[in-house]
Amino acid sequence: MSRPFRRKPVLAVLAAAVVGTFAAGCASIPGSSRPQIISESIPASPPSVDGDPRYDPIVPRPGERPEDIVRDYLAVGGSLERKHARARAYLSESSARTWDDNDGAIVLEDSVYLDVRRDGAEVSMRAQQRGRLDADGTYLPNAAPYPYTFQLEKNPDGQWRIGNPPPGVFVRAATFEDVYRSYNVYFLDSTRRRVVPDVRWFAAPQDSLPSVLVSALERGPSESLRRAVRSDLEDAKLQSNVVRESDRVRVYLTGLADRSDPLPPGGFAQLVWTLNQFGVGGVEIYSDGQLLQSRASRRSLQRFSDWRAFDPDALSATAPGYFVRNGAVWTTANSPAPGPAGRGDYAARAVAVSINQRSMAVVGRGPGGRPTLFVGPARGTLRRVLTGASLTPPSWGADTDEVWTVLNGREVVLVPTGGEATPVVVPALDRIGAVRVLRLSRDGTRVALVAGPAGRERLHLGVVTRENGAARVDDLLELDVGEGPVSDVSWSTALDLVALVRGGQQDSGLYAMRIDGVTTGRLVSTSGLPGPPSAVAAAPALPLLTIAAGDVWRTLASNEPWTRVTRDASPGSAPAYPG
């Protein structure tokens, strides 16, 4: 089921960092204005003892009006100390005891309007929801009206208090990331050879976060990834809190005793990648008190370096970029690719190379000059696989034996290197319109699509699921990168995209964004380019590539100048990195 995932970024910001490949983007709830719960000023009050000075002025005061009680209750939802003690102070005695503050958070934006009724016993709220944080830490963007009617009652001292708080807390969008931090919980791709990041937002104290993240692994992936990823920790339960020491953490699990292999390599990788976010020197994993040794590393202390092979962005730091010149495939070393493709045998229009750089796919000219997909060994002869009225640039995922493209804008297909084209089911394809660009993430779990009527193309994100040998793309949602149409997109990391967005008078901009639903994307500076960019290629820890005035250009960071890759009179086009 698709969900709305709309943003309204301010695209006038200049010289920003590419998320992931460059410096991390600014962390804030996306939006063009900061929410304000109530415009009235808050009178100063004596500081509280909850340990969070940001909220010290907001405490219940004698004689507060019902609307002020609700207003302050909404304002202190971001204070987590002592089980949301500040928010509980605005509840009646009975509701304070029964309120479930662990049921996630409702993120509100803009102004909140309050209407007092029944002499103060009822306060009707009209607000705009920005999103919701589920109890498992999953953020779900959902811009929608959020009405709620608070029932108020007087406590024995005659002070108004809320009697019916909804489960969870209210958090203002302006302060969401002051309260919550994002972490990746790692699961496995369909081959169990790579980890896949599943973004969660938590507000737990730093010393308890390792236990919180292992518990999230235990509970499984978020709803959108549930059918797309695997886990080697499905039977595992956290037996006691994760113990953190100066040079390692110790994880105590139970529930693995009945397995022939207590913990496969994927389970070790999931735990090590997840806990490595805390900068630990190593991870020791125990099953019912017994220290486990990995078959893969042959060690009891698991270090991150032992599990780098599970990298979802597994791409050599020396991998070249590729582009097309006069129908031939070239590399960013400014030389033709070896083999027939580099000689121009396929009249190439677009190229893709597998992550291990052993296979190549080219969209070129086939019978009758029609677009044709050629697939085969990167240095050898490519076989003709598919011909149509149009084909999108090919894209490889984590499975290096399989390349994807879109035939005639409407049929998503995958092509095994040694087989025939197989259709990929995309239930929402009719809704989003003709597909112009399709890019698989390098872990093969997500897909970015540029689709829609000419001049109004939008950027969409989907999840790749596989069952009984068939692939499909589910949970398509739109990523809002502004009002301009989208021309191209590329994955920089497993969670980051760079999109080419056209502005007014045919101008274009490169927009870097994280797909977590929260972090605001940014424009990448195009200062120094001889003209507007017309294509984009990104990869982890490698220069961003674009085409401007017929030349290939690259930059390592937004504050560094663009440099020309090609030095030839012949124009270059269709840049691509492996994947």
C-alpha to C-alpha distances, 469 to 190, 354, 377, 396, nearest whole angstrom: 11, 20, 23, 17
* Range name among 89-93, 178-182, 440-444, 455-459 with the lowest pLDDT average: 178-182
Q: 286-326, pLDDT tens digit by residue?
A: 999 999 998 877 888 999 999 999 999 988 888 999 999 99
* Range name among 226-230, 253-257, 266-270, 406-410 with the lowest pLDDT average: 253-257
Which stretch of DSSP H or E encloses residue 66? helix 66-75
User: What domains appear along the chain, each with residue ranges and CATH number?
Assistant: 53-179 (3.10.450), 195-310 (no CATH), 322-576 (2.120.10.30)
Q: Is the pLDDT of residue 34 over 60?
A: no
Q: Is the pLDDT of residue 177 over 50?
A: yes
Q: Give the confidence band of 49 by pLDDT, cuts at 50, 70, 90.
A: very low
The mean of the pLDDT values for the chain is: 86
Q: What is the pTM of this model?
A: 0.85
Contacts of 249 (CB under 8 A, 6+ apart): 210, 242, 243, 275, 278, 280, 282, 283, 284
Q: Is the pLDDT of residue 19 over 70?
A: no
End-to-end CA distance of the chain: 27
Q: Give the confidence band of 26 by pLDDT, cuts at 50, 70, 90.
A: very low
Q: Residue 330 corresponds to which amino acid?
A: W
DSSP 8-state assignment for residue 506: G
Report CA dihedral (71, 74, 77, 78) to the nearest 10 degrees.
-80
- Residue 501 CB coordination number (10 Å): 24
Q: Is the pLDDT of residue 41 over 60?
A: no
Report the alpha-carbon distance of residue 181 to residue 204 in Å, rounded: 9
Nearest partner of 69 among 141, 146, 131, 125, judged by Cα: 125
Q: 220-250, pLDDT tens digit by residue?
A: 999 999 999 999 999 899 999 999 998 999 9
Report the alpha-carbon distance of residue 285 to residue 288 in Å, rounded: 10
